[in-house]
Structure 1
Amino acid sequence: MKENKVSEKNTYIILISALISIIGCVTLKIFLFYGFLISIIIAFGLLIKSGFSLIELLHMIKSGLYECKALFILIALIGAMISIWMASGVIPTMLYYGLKYMQNTNFLFAAFVLISIVSIFMGTALGTISSVGIALLGLANIFGIPNYILLGAIVSGAFIADKSSPLSGLFNLALETVKISYKEALISILKTLLPAFFISGLLYYFIGEQYNLVLSNDNIFNFVSAIDSNFVISPLLLLLPLSIIIMSFLGMKMVEAVALALVAGIIVSISLQNANFNDIILAMFTGFSVTTNSIELNKILVSGGIVSMISILLIIAGAISLSSIFQETGLIIPIIRRITQKIKLREDLILKTGLISGVLTTISDQSVGIILPGKLLSDKYRELGIENTTLTRTIADTGTIIAPLIPWNANSLFIFTITGISTMEYAPYTVLCYLSPMITFIFAYLYSFKSGKRPRRHEI
């Protein structure tokens, strides 16, 4: 990270133009990549004027994209994997058993709890949503739950991984940045995670009670028959998604785990479902669809393959390029220091940490929302006698968790690509993503009053 050489005026022009370009594209429904491209061009012009060379700026982008190469590979693999899981019978099997054994239950509440547990073991929110989450969404209409409400619960549970899983790349980035152990961080995070989880669970339970419908035997029979007639169904097929969870828990990288599961899915498709090899390879790239006597099932078992991921890959590349420029030029550092230098109270520092992390995630991505406040505010926390575990918890509860609520964030775009449900539809129901920042701020103020550690400003 270089020392900032950009004037305050140019800094604000770059940041404001980036927000206007990105929000403008979202509002006008223009391909978001153009918003990032315009932002990068404006930033290039002003940064070159401020003393950076074109070669330096291009190198920053190149380095940022290279560091995220695993993410690009993972997204492409997931696009292929969803098609293969449909062709191999994995998702049909999940639908089959889900329909038979989850009827007459509070499906929304059960889905939230299941996804929360799975996400901890998988260590990735997007991986959880694109595997188990997709299968659960397939059951939404059958159980009479609007898919955007169910996706809200799924996203809430899945993003617990990014803020607390020992396998999460983002959470480990936060630990490395702040220099604390997982055990130390977890003890602190549970103080706000547990209340957020239980309150979210209660809300999903009460919402889910409205949709706790008793399905008619005819409807169940027709749907199950359609699955049974077109696929070989076996509980052993559930070992494929389970294998990803196990491999992730054992420390295997997500890209490798998904790649192995993909290969296994191809073998199962050919050997068990009697699929044609050429058709399977084509489905990986261009997508999968099936024709059965059930219109609902035909709507569920559709995927776009790797080709459908191209647009999201371009948008993520644009987001990473812009965030790399913000981070490596030190553009935002003076603003952060100005905001925090006069802070004297614990609760004020926590509040502004959350705001800084949230804003950085909003205009850039989660990694910037972790790294910059983690590096620049640790001394301030030490100065006020606050443990760095609180810094880690605040970042996890704000910048990390709000990513799926931001329409132009890579996480939201990925979710939209694989589900077809926009951020504006599911965001109101991602209860835990709202509660986490609220609880961490409330907790900070309550702690200060309860402990008597709220000093008067003139005494500090």
Structure 2
Amino acid sequence: MNNMNVEKRLPSVTMLIAIMIIFVVVMFGSIVILELPIQLALLLVWFVIMGFGIYLKYSYFEMERGLLKGIHEGMGATLILIAVGALIGSWIAGGVVPTMIYFGLSIISPGIFLMAAMIICAITSLATGTSFGSAGTAGIAMMGIGESFGLPVALVAGAVLSGCYVGDKMSPLSDTTVMTASLSNVDVFRHIKSMAFVSLPAFIIAAILYWVVGMFLMEGGGDLTIAENTMANLQDTFNISWIMLIPAAVVVAMLIFKLPSVPVIIFGALLGSIWAALFQGYGIIEALGTMYTGSGVSTGIEFIDNLLDRGGITFMLDVILLIILALGVGGLLQTIGAFKVIGDIFAKWATSTGNLTVTTMLASFFGVFFGGAAYVSLLTGTKITEENYNRQGVSRTLLSRNVEAGGTVTTPMVPWSDGGVFMAATLGVATLAYLPFFWYAFLVIIISLIYGYAGLFIMKKDKYEMERDKEHEEEIRGSIPGTDYTNERRLQREL
């Protein structure tokens, strides 16, 4: 029966709490107790939310449209995953990643390695604007070096992630940085400047912590036998040379010049295949195949084989399916009005800059936890709370800063989010294992809260921002047929 004209209801707060509880029970019950795939658990959640939607008088077709809209909004991430999967496979086969590991072992001191891993991944992500690409290249190399030094893999993964998300949050080339600025109606460089007040101290403190812990764990230099064996096996298996790093240099240079990330990464993957054929003894067809199936290399060292036997588009298929299902959950929740109810609750509570910070970060994290992707968190964070900033006359740079603090850096903390699944699969460490060592993210959250409640680095709207808001309002008015502004613009064009 078509109920398009039936009066629909918004979910009550009690119903919203019930949905959240059922979500958590289904997810952890399916994954931990029944040991079912996360993908299947998310599929079950679809039907749970649809059941609530039907009770609220929404038709199946309305919910299906919302589900597809939610998936569509996050499809950019799947394109990047496909490209990065191809890149990882061909760069391992082409000797790019093995060369990074080899030179890293020969240059980096074990005591400062954790700090160095964070800094190297931060530089890579700042230059490229992608946490996924940085983790899949420099990150994998750092994991190999760290394990060769005998460091706990979860700790190394935490340092790698901390570096990768510095760039994901701060680089003007990052899609999440640009998207957050756009959704918040803020100039991207003003957005980055505002985030620097939080990210710079978080980065410095995290780097010091990794340095102190690394020096403590590797007191006396540590046992370098594993590192030496790793270098010998890499040299026996691959042609190790500075020439192997050319594909990485080309990709970084192209991204610095602001070329689109997906075609650049795919081009980098093609270069990796060419290098595999030219320098690593692969046939041309076999080399090209590594972009799809991965390298399948064997060095004789189990942990290095586990690290390098990955990549290829097929390696990402489970991750892509999970992201699609998680995005569908976010689309369904938005369709039945869950986001609007939360926004109304936050509007009543956000009476100070501290409460503004908390509500925005919660709204962003809500998008990660229930929507499964950074893109969803940026939408929920901005759209649920933006009017609260206007009412208090606070600069929207605070909105954009808080959205990134609650959304972008928390993405790899959720096991079923795009960041959580990708990082766990790529680095070979479970999300909940590396979570306690992801210190940069925790510091960003803590510092943001301190600033909010202490009133530090909280800017009021200036003339530039008020003019930008006015232009934005005029654009919205002009996009609505029948408004005076639309008619005025049409008359100007005709004259």
- Give the TM-score of the pair, scaled to structure 1: 0.90
| 2:259 corresponds to 1:252 | yes
Give the stretch that moved more between structures: 183-192 or 195-204: 183-192
**What are the residue-to-residue correspondences of 1:305-320 with 2, within 5 Å?**
305-320=312-327
Tell me the alpha carbon deviations over residues 303-327 of structure 1, each in whole angstroms, 9 at most, x when there is no partner: 1533332221211111011112223
Amino acid corresponding to residue 243 of structure 1 in structure 2: V
Aligned partner of 1:19 in structure 2 is 24
Amino acid corresponding to residue 125 of structure 1 in structure 2: S
Aligned partner of 1:113 in structure 2 is 119
Tell me the alpha carbon deviations over residues 171-200 of structure 1, each in whole angstroms, 9 at most, x when there is no partner: 222111110112221222111111111111
Aligned partner of 1:207 in structure 2 is 213
Give the stretch that moved more between structures: 14-23 or 278-287: 278-287
Quote the Cα distance in structure 1 between the aligned partners of 2:402 and 2:17.
26
68, 78, 91: which one aligns with 1:62 = 68
Aligned partner of 1:367 in structure 2 is 375
Amino acid corresponding to residue 52 of structure 2 in structure 1: L
Quote the Cα distance in structure 2 between the aligned partners of 1:217 and 1:145.
11
Aligned partner of 1:127 in structure 2 is 133
Say which SS state the counterpart of residue 186 (structure 2) adopts: coil
- The gaps in structure 2 that reach 5 residues or longer are 1-6, 460-495
Aligned partner of 1:454 in structure 2 is none
**What are the residue-to-residue correspondences of 1:45-444 with 2, within 5 Å?**
45-103=51-109, 106-212=112-218, 214=221, 222-292=229-299, 294=301, 297-303=304-310, 305-364=312-371, 365-444=373-452
Quote the Cα distance in structure 2 between the aligned partners of 1:217 and 1:37.
47
Say which SS state the counterpart of residue 141 (structure 1) adopts: helix
Give the stretch that moved more between structures: 435-444 or 331-340: 331-340
Shift in CA distance, 4/193, structure 1 to aligned 2, threshold 3 Å: farther
Tell me the alpha carbon deviations over residues 315-354 of structure 1, each in whole angstroms, 9 at most, x when there is no partner: 1111011112223443221222123224432222222222
Query: Does the aligned pair in 1 maintain the 2:149–2:224 contact within 8 Å?
Result: no
Tell me the alpha carbon deviations over residues 264-323 of structure 1, each in whole angstroms, 9 at most, x when there is no partner: 111111122221234334444333233345555444432153333222121111101111
Aligned partner of 2:10 in structure 1 is 6
- The gaps in structure 1 that reach 5 residues or longer are 452-460
Give the stretch that moved more between structures: 3-12 or 111-120: 3-12
| Per-residue deviation, 1:414 | 1.0
Tell me the alpha carbon deviations over residues 419-459 of structure 1, each in whole angstroms, 9 at most, x when there is no partner: 221011111110011111111111122227999xxxxxxxx
Quote the Cα distance in structure 2 between the aligned partners of 1:184 and 1:176.
12
Amino acid corresponding to residue 415 of structure 1 in structure 2: M
Quote the Cα distance in structure 2 between the aligned partners of 1:167 and 1:127.
13
Query: Does the aligned pair in 2 maintain the 1:125–1:158 contact within 8 Å?
Result: yes
Quote the Cα distance in structure 1 between the aligned partners of 2:421 and 2:445.
22
Amino acid corresponding to residue 411 of structure 2 in structure 1: A
Shift in CA distance, 254/24, structure 1 to aligned 2, threshold 3 Å: farther
Query: Does the aligned pair in 2 maintain the 1:26–1:408 contact within 8 Å?
Result: no
Shift in CA distance, 216/314, structure 1 to aligned 2, threshold 3 Å: closer
Quote the Cα distance in structure 1 between the aligned partners of 2:258 and 2:8.
38
Shift in CA distance, 83/396, structure 1 to aligned 2, threshold 3 Å: same
Amino acid corresponding to residue 73 of structure 1 in structure 2: L
Amino acid corresponding to residue 140 of structure 1 in structure 2: G
Quote the Cα distance in structure 1 between the aligned partners of 2:76 and 2:331.
16
After superposition, the CA RMSD in angstroms is 2.6
Quote the Cα distance in structure 1 between the aligned partners of 2:302 and 2:43.
41
Say which SS state the counterpart of residue 106 (structure 1) adopts: helix
Tell me the alpha carbon deviations over residues 77-123 of structure 1, each in whole angstroms, 9 at most, x when there is no partner: 32232221121111121122112212455111111111112111211
Give the stretch that moved more between structures: 77-86 or 184-193: 77-86
Query: Does the aligned pair in 2 maintain the 1:226–1:297 contact within 8 Å?
Result: no
Number of residue pairs the alignment of both structures matches: 449
Shift in CA distance, 345/295, structure 1 to aligned 2, threshold 3 Å: closer
Give the stretch that moved more between structures: 305-314 or 7-16: 7-16
**Structure with more relative contact order (C-alpha pairs < 8 Å, separation 6 or more):** 1
Say which SS state the counterpart of residue 338 (structure 2) adopts: coil
Amino acid corresponding to residue 383 of structure 1 in structure 2: R
Quote the Cα distance in structure 2 between the aligned partners of 1:197 and 1:316.
29
Aligned partner of 2:472 in structure 1 is none
Say which SS state the counterpart of residue 344 (structure 1) adopts: coil
Amino acid corresponding to residue 384 of structure 1 in structure 2: Q
Quote the Cα distance in structure 1 between the aligned partners of 2:316 and 2:347.
40
Shift in CA distance, 449/393, structure 1 to aligned 2, threshold 3 Å: closer
Query: Does the aligned pair in 2 maintain the 1:115–1:158 contact within 8 Å?
Result: yes
Aligned partner of 1:455 in structure 2 is none
| Per-residue deviation, 1:166 | 1.0
Shift in CA distance, 222/438, structure 1 to aligned 2, threshold 3 Å: closer
- Give the TM-score of the pair, scaled to structure 2: 0.84
Shift in CA distance, 215/93, structure 1 to aligned 2, threshold 3 Å: farther
| Per-residue deviation, 1:395 | 1.4
